[in-house]
Homo-oligomer: A and B are copies of this chain.
């Protein structure tokens, strides 16, 4: 396992939904297209704010220095150990949405808190993704991905200082976006787990390169 991983699982126990604060298990009774009544089991977060249509956001933050236009854009990534998978995961910055917070505001806030960088949401219809469901056959958890650029020439981005909670241990780094697929394969070989947002973004970039989708 990766050298950053000093965390470890001590015990895993079944949890009754009446004792849970953050997650729950539900039985869904539904009517199928032919009118047959069927059951489905699913899990849900208990943290989605009332009135919000998402649990949180992920941030695709692209680092750029306008004075160095020849540099290939880099994507900001994180290493964070996650109890549910008992591994250090390669992720994009992300977080749960606060009550009445917009997805864009949440993304810029989480980026600053987790990495110290000040970013700007990109325009031209590419700043805010549709709502994406993480595993819709299993749970209702979802997010919007927010696309942000970080201008490395700005004074506020010279010495980025994260403001982490006392139970958060996050290491920030970056890789060239065009090499993300190869980087994911390397990280897996080193014992890291790959978050689906990172791996699937890498697949999309690689598809575009291989199929010459300009």
Contact = CB atoms under 8 A, between A and B. Distances in A.
A-side interface size class: 35 or more
Interface in A100-140: 125-126, 129-140
Given A9-B29, A73-B211, A133 B41 contact: no
B31 A7 contact: yes
Contacts of A177: 207, 211, 213
A2 interface: no
A201 interface: yes
Contact of A15 (B27, B125, B133, B138): B27
A201 B196 contact: no
A168 to B, nearest CB: 10
Given A13-B27, A203-B145, A205-B207, A40 B196 contact: no
A31 B8 contact: yes
A123 to B, nearest CB: 11
A178 B208 CA distance: 8
A11 interface: yes
A140 B129 CA distance: 24
A155 interface: no
B43 A23 contact: yes
Contacts of A38: 167
Interface in A1-45: 6-33, 36-38, 40-45
A133 B188 CA distance: 12
A62 interface: yes
Most buried by B among A44, A60, A136: A136
Nearest to A178: B213
Contacts of A129: 184, 199, 203
Which 9 A-B pairs have CB atoms at the shortest separation, nearest pair first?
Answer: A204-B204, A208-B208, A43-B43, A200-B200, A42-B84, A40-B83, A6-B33, A130-B188, A132-B199
